[in-house]
Amino acid sequence: MSSTASTAWTSLKSHATDMSHSHISTLFKQEPDRFSQFTFEQKELLLDLSKQKITSETITLLKELTEEKQLSTWIKKLFQGDHINDSENRPALHTALRSPANFSIPLAGKNIVTEVHDNLARMEKIVERIHSGQWRGYTGHSIDTVVNIGVGGSDLGPFMACKALSENSPEIARKLKVYFVSSMDGSQLADLLDQLNPARTLFIISSKSFTTIDTLANAQTAKEWLKQSSNSGTEATLVARHFIGVSANPEKVLEWGIPKSNQLEFWDWTGGRYSMWSTIGLPIALKLGMSGFKELLAGAHEMDEHFKAAPFEQNLPVLLAMIGIWNINFLNINAHAILPYDGRLSHIPAYLEQLEMESNGKSVDRQGDRVNHKTCPILWGEVGTNAQHAFYQLLHQGTEAVMCDFIVSARRYHDTDNSELQHQHQLNLANCLAQSRILALGDSVLEGAETAPAYKRYKGDQPCTTIMLDELTPFTFGQLIALYEHKVFVQSVIWNINPFDQWGVELGKKVATSLLDAFDFNGDKPNFDSSTNGLLNRIASKGEPH
């Protein structure tokens, strides 16, 4: 049955028509205590939906839609390891990566939680060896720099987490520098290698398949740099001392030259964009120590348990997802801004761009038919205080309807005597609350605004969600990311699409590979479309490459 062919969908369409005549500011006048009615908590995380264009009837109808779409059944399928990634005939068990050691999740006759914790134990030994100065480079000096080479899920999650949680680094980890390289063109790596001491640099090559051309090209450049810098020792010795491989394809890692002793594994039931909880999170563990990494896992597991057990009308991932469904499919809002009011969360918009748009940016349902409704919106974002000076003009006075997620921590700098830093945090909080208030309520918050000229008016009525952490810690960060993961899954169930494949990215890779021979410029005329032919001829005329 089509997603739109349901009683609840029809009821929501009718309800949306009625709600379209109500401004969010009017809803606050009608229900002055909306905050207590539409705010929900889970441990140290608060979700405020009061500035969304909703009423209690909206929540009731959305819950009915989840029941029609059998969301409870799908959640059970997710956690018990059913092959819900149907196009690749795999389960999606990223939740197993943060399950406690005493959990049991059977798959193919094995308890995969045992395998997960065996790998975490191996990772812990590597982390301890590096932190203690016992991992040594080709000169015998200890490693003081780590470079993670990966792309997509092998880069975005670890990069985001290391930036977000660097203040939580234990003393033993603070002397270790951690960098990330992802760009295929070599620009990141070239700039970085000029600054590094090859004798004290360790490379982590992170790739689920270990066939990703972007990653392997950077890895090969790093290997050549080490060979040229050392002028001694065999390649095998250099690789053994300066490379770790993290992959679900250990044979390919070994083929590249990284010995088994330097390998960490994860599994094909872990999607790349869901893999930061696995050994792909090695850079996070190096930054936070294993105790900090385990706190991150614990926070995510706490959200998993909440998602499994909480009734839908109090279930944070379900509520966040269904409010998104309401905005996209019933209020026709197709743009979503992620606005963290915390410089430490500067990389969360890029991470969520992949998580949401690669997962749910689909137009074909699980039965292979074209969907007849909107799916994932365009998602982008920036640190809020920077975004205020960039694209908030469009949010406040443009012609596009945009739903906004504000993410902020209630507490920061409470353990310092620096009153100026404490004041800066208050200033940051004031901006966060003010911007979400104006976006939702418009200039009705100001007296006399109605007499201002049109170009100074603020229409408001942009639906806003606020996610407030008590404090940014590994635990609350784990909660936050798992919240968004489960939100994406819930929306995929409502839309009847598979959020765990990404066939849309594959064709570009194949066509790029087929184009490589055209760069030999051996006199043959390129035989593609006129645009590609023209661009290849232009490149050839400039003498690159030779």
| Alpha helix (H) residue ranges in 132-260 | 156-165, 171-174, 187-193, 213-230, 235-242, 250-256
- Tell me which residue has tokens 């504000």: 406
Q: Residue 432: phi, psi to the nearest 5?
A: -60, -50
Nearest in space to 182 (alpha carbons), one of 212, 223, 143, 226: 212
Residue 462 near residue 394 (C-beta atoms within 8 A) = no
User: Is 487 noted as a catalytic residue in this protein?
Assistant: no
Q: Active site residue: 29, 110, 456, 509, which one? A: 509
Written as one letter, the residue type at 389 is H
State the Cα–Cα distance between residues 408 and 337, nearest whole angstrom: 14
Picking from 425, 431, 434, 419, the residue whose alpha carbon sits closest to that of residue 471 is 425
Which strands make up the sheet holding 201-206, listed edge to edge?
177-181, 145-149, 201-206, 243-247, 263-265
Decide: 443 and 449 in contact? Cβ < 8 Å: yes
Query: How do strand 403-411 and strand 335-340 relate by DSSP bridges?
Result: parallel
- What is the identity of the amino acid at 80? Q
Residue 544 is among the residues annotated as catalytic for this protein: no
Quote the Cα angle for 162-391-403, to 5°: 80
Interatomic CA distance for residues 242 and 237, integer angstroms: 9
β-strand 110-111 against 106-107: which pairing, if any? Answer: antiparallel
Choosing from 21, 171, 389, 542, the catalytic residue is 389
Catalytic residue, from 358, 362, 485, 486: name it: 358
Rounded Cα gap, residues 34 and 53, in angstroms: 11
**Is 347 one of the annotated active-site residues of the chain?**
no
Q: Taking the CB of residue 6, how many other CB atoms lie within 10 A of it?
A: 16
CB of 461 closer than 8 Å to CB of 467: no
Phi, psi (degrees; rounded to nearest 5) at 462: -90, 120
Residue with tokens 């308890």: 111
Residues carrying an active site annotation:
358, 389, 509
